[in-house]
Structure 1
């Protein structure tokens, strides 16, 4: 309630309580829906068990994640302390240890370290051999800053390019350290600090002017998403990610020999008959190119062309979409014999949907989960193959078995 004065008259204004009532009504409706879902007389027990299992799984993952984070923090703390000791106490070292330090440091600054000879005597380093002129000064400076090095004599020969120098041939590459935030996968410690920084940016955005606060809030959201998914931004957005924004791997064991399975999966034009999401597959006369029509989100058909990149009869087949497709992807299907005449079928898919991994997550929330569909299709394939191998009349024999008879497997 707020009191204001208007022309000498005291007026009381009551804030509307409609918003609180709406919130309370919404919370009550959600609670009622949850209770009806979990305590349904027919499926309530199964749903409660599923919720209990997922809760236990999430708890175990959280506990394991906290343990990994604690170990990573401890290891990095000990590593930082060792690095400080190395800088201050590493100067009193014998020549053998100093030689190994120099060789290790050269590998970070010289593309062909095997072309360089290192000699150490009384902490004086002599460098001989061949290097490129673009690496000369940087390598000298790096060796000079190694703890324990008193002086550096670089008598090596510098070259503008590798032409005519045998030791500089080949695809040499400097193993320069990559900053933590530029790596493909962030460590648990880096993700912790990134999440803390994202929260700080969100808190700071409230005190800034409107346009600036939006930019800071957007930067915090991007940082939080990168931290939560641990995926590079190009894979999250799908920009310059090629065919590798999302990776899916599934495997299943089928009670049939590899030859029987290969005869079916190698001619993937029959997939339209076995998989509901595959509406049509047309192969070119030579079998290398195929045109697919599959059911996409909301039942919208998706068309693309694919070409085979590898075929090893009876073992593996690989393919990729042709250039210019809306959803670029690549995949491989392999067969591995297992015990008891069974075969392990494994499928690897990598694709770049619209908006990258973020688009994949949104599609998953809407029920269009490619991984779940792939598992279902593999189960249908397994059922089809094992049903084809079942002897005729086997179901009739099982039905005629006496009720008290127990059979071994």
Structure 2
């Protein structure tokens, strides 16, 4: 390879050796999410190191890899297998949780439907700004306020009082979709069923780390829904 090819960023010619450990093979969006997710895992590992040392160690290793990946732009798994570009699609993470709330269904639904209410009980949300009845802007904060992710979303299906479905808009730094169903309970109260699908930008983590983020996000959602129940029933925010 001559100097011109190197400066122009051309791929190595056949027979040329290059150091995959310094190759940038992660998309800008993937680097952002890697840093955010690594910081999140790091905070989770530190907070539970006394109670779950083995799990915390695994999360620390995962956090270290994700932070390295985001800061350097080099995915070690991609480099090891000779990949210069990330995969087109990343595996989706699906999270589902349900809870029973003692309030009437329409009251529960319409509080959720005002999307700017969500940060009241969803601690990972910094803000949700509604542009109009169908479009909104979401900001998610990392642990201890370290880093943020932002995206625009749209409501794609709604049955007032019963069902709400949304998804992020094309070009967002994170691909996400969700739906929440509200059902009457015999004798009063509401059953709330929440499903979230999260797909990172292409190539944002090695396939072996997907389970770690699934656990982190699932725990986050479950805790947020419990806070939602507490707020609806008491009018107070849970710690």
TM norm structure 1: 0.34
Specify the alignment match of 2:211 in structure 1: 361
Residues 356 and 319 of structure 1, relative CA distance in 2, 3 Å threshold? farther
Specify the alignment match of 2:88 in structure 1: 239
Confirm or deny: 8 A CA contact 1:238 1:245 kept in the other structure: no
Within the alignment, does 1:329 sit opposite 2:176 as a pair? Answer: yes
Q: Partners in 1 of 2:129 and 2:235 — Cα distance? A: 25
Confirm or deny: 8 A CA contact 1:338 1:344 kept in the other structure: yes
How far 1:363 moved relative to its partner?
A: 3.8
Residues 238 and 258 of structure 1, relative CA distance in 2, 3 Å threshold? farther
How far 1:251 moved relative to its partner?
A: 0.7
- Match of residue 373, structure 1, among 203, 213, 220: 220
Secondary structure of the corresponding residue to residue 314 of structure 1: coil
Residues 356 and 289 of structure 1, relative CA distance in 2, 3 Å threshold? farther
**What are the within-5 Å matches in structure 2 for residues 72-111 of structure 1?**
none
Q: 1:75-120, CA deviations, whole angstroms, 9 ceiling, x for partnerless residues?
A: xxxxxxxxxxxxxxxxxxxxxxxxxxxxxxxxxxxxxxxxxxxxxx
Confirm or deny: 8 A CA contact 1:246 1:356 kept in the other structure: no
Specify the alignment match of 1:295 in structure 2: 141
Confirm or deny: 8 A CA contact 2:115 2:129 kept in the other structure: no
Q: Partners in 2 of 1:311 and 1:349 — Cα distance? A: 16
Q: 1:356-399, CA deviations, whole angstroms, 9 ceiling, x for partnerless residues?
A: 6835434468xxx111111111011100111149xxxxxxxxxx
Q: Which has the larger radius of gyration?
A: 1
Q: Partners in 1 of 2:87 and 2:198 — Cα distance? A: 10
Q: Partners in 2 of 1:335 and 1:281 — Cα distance? A: 21
Confirm or deny: 8 A CA contact 2:106 2:161 kept in the other structure: yes
Secondary structure of the corresponding residue to residue 103 of structure 2: coil
Confirm or deny: 8 A CA contact 2:92 2:198 kept in the other structure: yes
Q: Partners in 1 of 2:165 and 2:105 — Cα distance? A: 17
How far 1:325 moved relative to its partner?
A: 1.4
Confirm or deny: 8 A CA contact 2:99 2:192 kept in the other structure: yes
Q: Partners in 1 of 2:182 and 2:200 — Cα distance? A: 27
Instruction: Between the two structures, name the one with larger relative contact order (CA 8 Å, sep ≥ 6).
Output: 2
Cα RMSD after superposing both structures: 2.9
Q: Partners in 2 of 1:327 and 1:250 — Cα distance? A: 21
**What are the within-5 Å matches in structure 2 for residues 2-401 of structure 1?**
239-241=88-90, 245-284=92-131, 286-296=132-142, 299-354=146-201, 355=204, 358=207, 359-363=209-213, 369-388=216-235
Q: Partners in 2 of 1:333 and 1:327 — Cα distance? A: 20
The structure with the largest helix share of the pair is 1
Specify the alignment match of 1:402 in structure 2: none
Unmatched runs of 5 consecutive residues or more in structure 2: 1-49, 53-79
Residues 245 and 253 of structure 1, relative CA distance in 2, 3 Å threshold? same
Q: 1:290-349, CA deviations, whole angstroms, 9 ceiling, x for partnerless residues?
A: 001011356311101101100110000100000011210111011011122121101111
Specify the alignment match of 1:84 in structure 2: none
TM norm structure 2: 0.57
Secondary structure of the corresponding residue to residue 171 of structure 2: coil
